[in-house]
Structure 1
Amino acid sequence: MKIILTSEVSGLGAPGDVVEVKDGYARNYLLPRNVAIRWTKGGEKDVEQIRRGRRIREIATIEQANDVKAQLEGVKVRLKVRAGNGGRLFGSVTPADIVTAVKQAGGPEFDKRRIELGHPIKSLGAHQVSVRLHPEVTVKVGLEVSAAK
């Protein structure tokens, strides 16, 4: 099945890319999560609009990505959240929370969709978060989650 990606999907492509995937993967995963739309002749018009929006948000060159990477590596990110006894959080830490914490720590601004969480952060302590700045540049950011008083 031919689809148009509306969000970045690891290992598949970026917004605006037209890709061919198995029918079941598109029907059961990509389309219900609104990360892709079916390809149609009319949908081709949407591709340019998606790509234009992507260019505005995107870190265009590897040099820019490396600059942002250098800024992120020098930032100590601390996040205070509500937690119960035993260090378990009420809910979990979201990518939007992480972006806000990075900004408050004096780091650069970037899109929350760039953050890749391998698993939900639901406990206090130190965690590693992966940020994909460019298809070729990924940085690990240290995140210290502590209890709010």
Structure 2
Amino acid sequence: MKVILLKDVRNVGKKDEVKEVSDGYARNYLIKRHLAVAYTEGAKKVLNAQLKEREKEEAQKKAEAEETAEKLKNMPLEFSLNAGKDGQVFGSVSSKQIAEALHEKGIAVDKRKIKMEQAISSLGTTKVKVDLYRNQVIGEIIVRVRQKD
């Protein structure tokens, strides 16, 4: 029996795939637990409509991410840290602080999407990469760290 998967099913397939499974498995497990629906012409049309809608949404999200990347290029972030006479910095700037500073400027970015090996713990300018859309759109933030007065 052919079915359209509504959710990812281990050892069967991913969501929205059309799979051939045994009749009993389809009726007694997949359909009963709302993991799949029987493959019919009506279900095929609904699936195609959903895929087209999802494609449009993905294109919209990607366009928004590209727009955000352009905004980030022209928006340097400034942080002040305590430093000793010899330039030794006390503290650091973490991805959480960068995400909060961006949020204050009206840009929502998850701190886990900010690509830093370690926190910034030196004075000066640093470029930090941000994954804005599934590793397809990468933005760049200029982070300036200066000595606190």
TM score, norm. by length of structure 1: 0.53
- 1:90-129 equivalence runs, <5 A: 90-104=90-104, 106=105, 108-129=107-128
The CA RMSD over aligned residues, in Å, is: 2.1
Secondary structure, counterpart of 1:82 in structure 2 = strand
Q: List 4+ stretches of structure 1 deviating above 6 A.
A: none
Contact 2:81/2:91 (<8 A) preserved: no
Distance in 2, matches of 1:110 and 1:70, equals: 14
Q: Secondary structure of 1:92's partner? A: coil
Counterpart code for 2:120: I
CA contact (8 A) 1:72 1:107 kept: no
1:88 maps onto 2:88 in alignment: yes
Cα deviation, 1:92-113, whole Å, max 9, x if unaligned, reads 2111111233344x35121111
CA contact (8 A) 1:127 1:144 kept: yes
Tell whether the 8 Å contact from 1:75 to 1:102 is kept in structure 2 after alignment: no
Q: What's the offset of the Cα at 1:130?
A: 0.8
Q: Distance in 2 between matches of 1:117 and 1:66?
A: 20
- Contact 2:95 2:119 (8 Å CA) reproduced: no
2: distance between equivalents of 1:86 and 1:107? 36
Corresponding residue of 1:139? 139
Which letter maps to 1:115? I
8 Å Cα contact 2:130/2:139 also seen in 1:
yes
C-alpha separation in 2, matches of 1:102 and 1:109: 7
In the alignment, structure 2 segments of 5+ residues that lack a partner are 1-9, 11-59
Q: Unmatched 5+ residue regions in structure 1?
A: 1-17, 19-59
Q: Does the CA-based 8 Å contact 1:95-1:115 persist in structure 2?
A: yes
Higher-Rg structure is 2
In structure 1, distance between residues paired with 2:108 and 2:103: 6
TM-score w.r.t. the length of structure 2 is 0.53
Identity %: 28
Aligned residues of 1:128 and 1:140 also touching (Cα < 8 A) = yes
